[in-house]
Each structure stands twice: as structure tokens, then as C-alpha cells.
A and B are shown apart, each in its own frame.
Chain A
Amino acid sequence: MNLSAASAKHQSNLPAQKKNKTSKLAIREAAWGYLFILPVVLGLAVFYMAPSAASLFLSFTTWDGMSTPVFNGLDNFAQLAADEKFTRSLLNTLLYTVATVPLSIAFAVILAVLLNQKIKGMIVYRTLYFIPVITMPIAVGMVWKWLYNSEFGLINFVLGSLHLPQPNWLFDEKFALFSIVIVSVWTSIGYNAVILLSGLQGISTSYYEAASLDGAGTLYRFFRITLPLLTPSLFFVLVMSFINSFQVFDLVFIMMGQQTSLLDSTRTVVYSIWEDGFKYFNMGYASAEAFILFIIILLITAFQMYFQKRWVHYQ
């Protein structure tokens, strides 16, 4: 911001100078600009682009992480198509996403609206709801694992004293994935709510005043003003949630551990990548899985970008 303003001023101070001199100046400024972004670009190139390219290359090879990779064409992908474990993990990830994303966003919208009021101590509430976001996933996973314990956990203790059924939350295949969804929703609400809150605060009060004059009620104002004008923030949150949700790993890893039998119902794609890559050291195969996940996320994001004009209203 400051930089461009400064340079604009700089240029306006030199109206009499010749054209080619200005362009020299422009080149010089561009050079400085590139120099300034060079560290970031280098960082991206070294830590993101290069590994991604390497991973793409490796997905066409067999590699144990030690010896020289052996090119095997599309073998990895052919194997993946027939791999029950991978198909199951794709399905699990999809189920997880379909449950987590809408729940998390719905709760986040409600929370954001509640946090957008002018009452005393609001900053405390906002901080409280943001705490799960900055808590380490390991800590979150460990605490929830204990809460979920079917014999000694707090949740079942409460359910038991209310004479309600006490399910085995994590170690019953019917509930395991759902239990993880609950934790993910709990951790992601805070982040989504903060984004949405900033969206809410960007909505001009004049709309509400005008609507009130016309006699619009609270609900009517929410659905006709708040929600439509919140769509840009909602869109951002939706895209990010989908991406994060497709990449879920840590909670599953911490809460399910490596109980191989029960993992069938909770293993996600990234878990599967980790397992093949760093447990069995089939780096080529794991890279192929990662590549497929990348394509899926790319398609979903592109789809969302394309359809945003149908429902996203920019003010």
C-alpha cells in the first residue's frame, strides 16, 4: 500500500522527464519489486513447487525411499483403482466432509451472528470460541479421546446418570467416524466464525435501517440482508473447509491410533498416504494417492469457483 502510494508520488513529481527515462525507472522499480518478492518465491519454489513436482514424478515409480526410483508407468494408478483400502478411505473422507462442512459452517454462522452484538465482555467470548483453533490437535485429540471413553469418559458418565444409552464412541465402527466429525466441527467453528464475523462487520448498517423502516422483522432481515451479503465470506469459508476436510489426518491418527482393524471405518486418504509412505515406505504408491487427492480437491474447488456466480453476491 505505502509503497505504491510512494512510487505514484514519485512519478507525479517527474512530469517533464522523457518517456524512455520513465520506462527505465519502471524497469528499475520492477527489478526492486522482484527482488523483494524473491525470498517468498524461492521459499515457495523450494518447499512447495519442487516437492510437488517430485511427488508427481514419483507417482509413476516404485520407490522405497532409499534406493533409486524405478519407473513403472501407470502401475501405481492401476493398483490404486483395485485397492479396497484406498477406495474405502476415499469414501470415508467423503462421508467425513459431507458431515463436517455443513455442520461446521451452520454453527459458525449462528456463532458469528451471536458474537456480532454489542454487549459487555464480548472480546472474552470471542477469545473463548477461538481457543480450540489455536489448541494443538494432539491435545484436542487426547482430551476428546478421554471424554469419549466408554467406561471412564465424562460423556458416557453424563449419559449414564440420565439413563440414556452409552455408546462406545470411538471403538464401535458405527459411531467412530461420526465421533471424529463432532470433534472436527468443534475445532473448526472458531476459525470459520471469525472469518464470518469480519464479513458481518463489513455489512453497512444502512441496509438494516432501511429494512427496519420498511417494517422487516429480525428473521426477514437475517435471510434477506445478512445472509446474501455474507455470501462472499461464506464462499471463502466453504472453499477452505472443503480443502481442510479432504486433508484430515491428525485427529484420526491421534484418536484411533494404529488399531488396524477399526481403522477400516475411519481411515482417511491422507492417513492412507501416510501409512503407505512412512510405514511401508512405498513412496511411489503414496505419491500416486496424493496426486489423486490433489486432482479431487482441484476439481471440487474449480467447481465451486465456477458456480459461485449463482449464489455469491458482492456488494
Chain B
Amino acid sequence: MRKRCSVLITILFLFTTVLAGCGGSSSGDSGGKTVLNVALWDENVKDTLTKTIQLYNKSHPDVEVKVTYTPWGDYWTKLKTSLAGNSGPDVFWMNGPNFYAYASNGWIKDLQPLIDQSKLDTSVYTDALVNLYSYKDHLYGLPYFLDAVGLYYNKELFDKAGIPYPDNTWTWNTIEENAAKLTDKKSGVYGYAALVDSQSGYYDLIHQAGGYIISDDKKSSGFDSPEVLSAFKWEQGLMDKGLSPSAQQQMETKPLQLFGSGKIAMFPAISVSAPELYKLLGDKLGVAPLPAGKKQATIVHGLSWAMNGKTKHEKEAWDLIQVLSGKEGEQLLADSGFSIPAYKGTEEGWLKSIPSLNLQVFVDSLKFAVPYPVSEKTAEWQDVESKEIQDAFLGKKPFEEALKTIADKMNKILATEGKN
């Protein structure tokens, strides 16, 4: 009898552990404390965040903030599924390509009423980001940091070729002339990287050529214009002349890797890459504004803090967001050298984070910043876009045809937006 009992108990025990594993609660209260869940993907900001949360806890000792870092690859899937299950983090990182879908479906909270209530001045944030995170003129995310695109260069290669470093007078023509002098086929060095990538590559060039990617009213694509074509023709020309790694080479070995190992002399990239590139190249690294085409332009993207549309702790979450994106929080972020804070006037710490690099270039280029192009179904049309662009770069079809296809498909996708 005793034996039987113990077997039964063992089995029951097994069940309860299984069941206990099933019912994990996401947001709730533990020991009388309110728990706020925060989610983001980049562990490089961990120290900054810990300090900022300490700051928040000074005024909110009764709130426990739990931070979860999910790698970029899983972040959006995990976020979306957890929000679908009516749980999910209370406060989390939002980026441009996903913003419209989240705002228009009400998965993130309209912050405007809260902003009005607390009389928060949003003009302290970089305009491009306030634009990016506004939906129907309401702010849905409080800007945290931004990244602009600049032209990184390898000083050693310039010195060897006896060419002065790039500056704000450079244009597409100067790039092409000097790329030819910097290219050294024997040692496998390319003068410039004409990127197949969008944010640091053709998005900037399109705007520099006077074109655009999506119209301001988000209703039509700008891809089928002669300006856009001229941007791609220029990139293609550089590849054909062997002044830039070909598209195939870029898909195989990341241009950042090539630049980091001294195989590319000039490389357009976002400001967030500065610490990584500095680690690879040290004092050989220099940075200049992007060269001008018909005009100057740089794509600005950045992240904001958004709030779960169904959070149970709206007040606490809102206070936390205000601290994270507040002046002190932004200063902490800047000091860590992670990226340019979105709060105007707090850049000081960031500018000093790599003394040998003139990071002021990025802050200055905000004057001609263009917000990263987004709409509700960004992911869908960007997929069409990147496939067609890659096809064209790989020589499977001419750019004229690819751009026409992108514009057609993108217009069709845009026409279905705003209907759910």
C-alpha cells in the first residue's frame, strides 16, 4: 500500500511540475511590488539601462523593473506573439520599419494624451524622430537615440595614395575620382563601397540624387523616377569599374568586415557602427559627412520607447519612459558612447566617447537629415524592394525594369494600407 502511494505521489508530482511550467505569468505583482517588464535587443546598453533604472527607482521605490534582452533575430517574433497573448512587456524598444504596424493596430499606446497631461515638451527631440514616431499627428513612442549615416575612411590608405581626407566639400564626382586612385587591385583594396544595403547605401543616394522612396502621404512609391535610377547607375558604374566590391562579393563577405580589415578605403555606415569600427581600425579610422549628389542628404533612423497598448500599469510605465528618454537618461546613454541621444543638447558625452574621431560630423549632418522611409506595411514592400534591387545588381535584370516592378508592387501594397 505504501509503495502504491509513493508511485501515485510521484506521478502527481510530475504533473504539477508540468502544469506549473505552463502557467508562467508575465506581468503582475510580486511581494506587493508592481513589476514592470521592459524588452529590448541590444545588450550593449545594459550598463546605461541599469543606471537609468536606479534613477527611476529613487522616485518609484515600490516598482520593480525587469529587463529582458532578446536577440535581434527573435525580438519581433517574440514581441508580437507575446502581445497576441495579451501579455508582453510593458515598455519596449520600437524601430521605424515596425512602428506603423504597431501604432495603427493599437498594439502600442498613443502617448499623446499622457504627453499633454504631463505637459512634456517634445520639441527637445530631433525632428526626424518625432516625425518617424508620429501616427496621425500623435506621438506613439518617445525617441531614445538616433543614428545617421556618415562616410568612414581608412586614413592609412589615404596617406599611402597621397590624397587629402574627405570633407564636406566632397561630391559623387570627388568620390569616383579618388576611389580610382585608392583602388589597388593587386592587394585587393577597393576605393569605395557602393552598398547593396538600403539604409547606409542606396536610400541616402536616392535622396542625394533628388529622388525619394515614399511620398509624404505614404500613398505612392518614388522608385520609378529618373533620379532614383541615376543613383543606382552610379553605384553600378563603380562596381563595373572595379572601384567597389561587386554585389555578389558584398553578399558573401560583409563590407563592414572588408573595411575593418583594410580592404576598402571609404565606407558609408551608420553612427552606431563607430565603436565597432574603431575597435577594428583604431586611430586609422576617420569619418566625414556623406558626399553630396545634387544635394546633401543622410537617412536618419532611431529608436523610441513604446508602451504596450494593454499594459496594466500605465502610470508607472509612462513615468519610466519619461526617465529613460529624459535628459538625465539620455545623458547616461550619450556618455556610454552607444549612439547619438535623441534629446537635443545631450550629445556632449557621445562626442567625447571616441576622442580620435570627429563624431560631430553626424550631429552636423542632422541639418540635412531625411527620416527613414516607413509605412504600415514597410516589411512587405521592403522585401520586394530588396529582392528586385539584388536581382538588378546581380545582373538578372536591368535597373529600369527592377525599379518599375518595385514601384508597381509597392503602390499596390500601399493601396491596401489603413484598411483594417
Q: Does A109 contact B (CB under 8 A)?
A: no
CB-CB under 8 A from A36, the residues of chain B are 11
With a cutoff of 8 Å between Cβ atoms, the chain B residues found around residue A130 in the complex are: none
The distance in angstroms between the C-alpha atoms of A151 and B390, with both chains bound, is: 20
| Residue-wise interface mask of B (249-268) relative to A, using a CB-CB cutoff of 8 A (1 in contact, 0 not) | 10111000000000000000
A221 nearest CB across to chain B (Å): 48
Closest chain A residue to B396, Cβ basis = A261
User: By the criterion CB–CB under 8 Å, are B390 and A260 in contact?
Assistant: yes
- Tell whether, in the assembled complex, residue B379 and residue A280 are in contact, meaning their CB atoms are under 8 Å apart: yes
- Given A39-B15, A261-B387, A280-B379, do A149 and B252 touch, yes or no (CB 8 Å)? yes
Q: How far is the CA of A43 from the CA of B15 in the complex (A)?
A: 10
CB of A149 within 8 A of CB of B390, answer no
B358-390 Cβ-contact flags toward A at 8 Å (1 or 0): 000000000000000000000110010011001
Query: Which A residues are in CB contact (< 8 Å) with B380?
Result: 280
Contact A259 B390 (CB under 8 A): yes
Contacts of B124 in A (CB 8 A): none
Q: Is B215 an interface residue (CB 8 A)?
A: no
Interface flag for A51 (CB, 8 Å): no
A278: which B residues are within 8 A, CB to CB? 77
Is B1 positioned at the interface, with any CB of A under 8 Å from its CB?
Answer: no
Cα distance A279–B380 when bound, in Å? 9
Inter-chain CA distance A280–B77, complex, in Å, is: 10
Bound-state Cα–Cα, A35 to B105, Å: 46
Contact with B along A239-282 (1 / 0, CB 8 A): 00000000000000000000111100000000000000011110
In this assembly, does A150 line the interface, its C-beta being within 8 Å of a C-beta of chain B?
A: yes
Q: Given A168-B252, A278-B77, verify A261-B394 contact (CB < 8 Å).
A: yes
Q: Are A261 and B11 in contact (CB under 8 A)?
A: no
Asked whether, in the complex, the Cβ of B252 is within 8 Å of the Cβ of A171, the reply is yes
Nearest-neighbour CB distance to chain B for A97, whole angstroms, equals 25
Say whether, besides A39-B14, A170-B252, A259-B251, A65 and B84 are in contact (CB < 8 Å).
yes
Residue numbers in A under 8 Å from B188 (CB-CB): 151
Q: How large is the interface on B (under 10, 10 to 19, 20 to 34, 35 or more residues)?
A: 20 to 34
CB distance from B223 to the nearest CB of A (A): 16
A35 — which chain B residues lie within 8 A by C-beta? 11
On whether the beta carbons of A65 and B15 are closer than 8 Å, the reply is: no
The reply to whether B391 and A66 contact each other, CB–CB distance below 8 Å, is no
Among residues of A, the one whose C-beta sits closest to the C-beta of B393 is A261
Does chain B have a CB within 8 A of A152? yes
Q: How far apart sit A35 and B7, CA to CA, in the bound complex (Å)? A: 10
Nearest A-chain residue to B384, judged by Cβ: A260
- Closest beta carbon of chain A to B353's beta carbon, Å: 31
Please pick, from A43, A66, A262, the residue contacting B251 in the complex, using a CB distance under 8 A: A262
Q: A261–B387 Cα gap in the complex (Å)? A: 5
Write the B167-201 contact mask toward A (1 if CB under 8 angstroms, else 0).
00000000000000000000010000000000000
- Tell me the complex Cα distance, A43–B11, Å: 14
- Roughly how many angstroms separate A73 CA and B15 CA in the complex, as a whole number? 39
**Is residue B68 within 8 Å, beta carbon to beta carbon, of the partner chain?**
no
Tell me if B20 is interfacial: C-beta within 8 Å of chain A.
no
**Contact status B394-A66, CB under 8 Å:** no
- Which residues of chain A from 64 to 78 have any CB-CB distance to chain B below 8 Å in the complex? 65-67
Question: Would A261 and B15 count as touching, CB distance under 8 A?
Answer: no
The reply to whether B11 and A39 form a contact with Cβ atoms under 8 Å apart is yes
CB-CB < 8 A to A281: which residues of B? 80
Min distance, Cβ A159 to any Cβ of chain B, angstroms: 16
A35 to B8, CA, bound (A): 9
Say yes or no: A66 contacts B396, CB within 8 Å.
no
User: Given the complex of chains A and B, what is the CA–CA distance between A259 and B252 in angstroms?
Assistant: 10
A150 / chain B contacts, CB cutoff of 8 Å: 249, 252
B420 contacts across to A, CB distance below 8 A: 67
Determine if B14 and A171 form an interchain contact, defined as CB atoms under 8 angstroms apart.
no
Instruction: Say yes or no for B118: interface residue by CB 8 A criterion.
Output: no
Give every chain A residue within 8 A of B356 (Cβ-Cβ): none
Contact partners of A149 in chain B: CB under 8 A: 252-253
Distance (Å) between the CB of A249 and the closest chain B CB? 14
CB of B83 within 8 Å of the partner chain: yes
CA distance A259 to B249 in the complex (A): 12
Task: Decide if B81 is an interface residue (CB 8 Å cutoff).
Answer: yes
Give CA–CA (A172, B83) in the complex, Å: 40
* Contact flags B78-93 to A (C-beta < 8 A → 1, else 0): 0011011000000000
Per-residue CB contact flags for chain A residues 152-194 toward chain B (1 = under 8 Å, else 0) read 1000000000000000101110000000000000000000000
Measured between alpha carbons, how far is A170 from B252 in the docked complex, in Å? 8
Given A65-B84, A281-B80, does the pair A171, B18 have CB atoms closer than 8 Å?
no
Min distance, Cβ B306 to any Cβ of chain A, angstroms: 16
Q: Which residues of B contact A (CB under 8 A)?
A: 11, 14-15, 18, 77, 80-81, 83-84, 105, 107, 188, 248-249, 251-253, 379-380, 383, 386-387, 390-391, 394, 396, 420
- With A151-B253, A262-B251 already in contact, 9 other A-B pairs whose C-beta atoms are closer than 8 Å: A65-B81, A65-B84, A67-B420, A151-B249, A260-B390, A261-B387, A261-B394, A262-B394, A279-B383
15 residue pairs of the A-B complex, CB under 8 angstroms, read A35-B11, A36-B11, A39-B11, A42-B18, A43-B18, A66-B83, A150-B249, A150-B252, A168-B252, A259-B251, A260-B387, A261-B386, A261-B390, A261-B391, A281-B80
